[in-house]
Amino acid sequence: MKLIVGLGNPGEQYKLTRHNIGFIFIDEYLKEKKITNFTEKYKSLFVNTNYNGDKVFYQKPLTFMNLSGEAVGEAVRFFKIDPKTELFVIYDDMDMQFGKLKIKQNGSAGGHNGIKSIISHVGNEFVRIKFGIGKPKTKEETLGYVLGKFTPEEKEVLRDSREKIFNLIDDIKDNMPIQKLMNKYNSKK
């Protein structure tokens, strides 16, 4: 069993913003796989699929970023998911250059309120898939930056990153051990 979560904010105004990178990759992956049967469950848009006899769930919390843990926690408890080995969360990270990818098994929230919320609901042990969005010049610009639209250069990097993210999700579904995922996908640059 696997629960793959993409973090973001619901609503048209947030649709293609840096903070919604998790939603964007989940949406594009499912579109590529022709999976369109999202239902509203567990305070989220939720898809239940089978892959080689294994249950794979995809989730986009509708709670807004800061309360993501409410939605993730509900699904984890309902399906008795072991966060340590079966929960994978895709989200934006301002402390990494745009397009850089990093997988971690645990750690702090690193200032990310969505991750802080998930930790408060399921604990610290779950797989984080961080996608770098870079950071603004000043701290005061943070909110506008994370909720800002992509530049043309960033859109190009996103397009180039799709295949890597799609392969990563496929490897998760194929039960690649977490250490191997980290060795294969953590950006070297």
Q: Provide the annotated binding site.
A: 14, 64, 66, 113
**Can you read off the two tokens belonging to residue 151?**
């530049």
What dihedral angle (degrees, nearest 10) is formed by the CA atoms of 134, 31, 85, 6? 40
Q: What would you report as the CA-atom Rg of the chain, rounded to the nearest whole angstrom?
A: 15
Q: Which residue has the tokens 């960033």?
A: 154
**Can you read off the two tokens belonging to residue 188?**
């070297």
Which amino acid is residue 89, in one-letter code? Answer: V
Helix or strand run (H / E) with residue 147: none
- Cite the annotated binding site for tRNA by residue number: 14, 64, 66, 113
Q: Is 121 known to be catalytic?
A: no
Residue tagged active-site, from 2, 18, 19, 100: 19
- Residue 149 phi, psi (nearest 5): -80, 160
Rounded to whole angstroms, the Cα distance separating 81 from 181 reads 20
Q: Which residues are catalytic?
A: 19
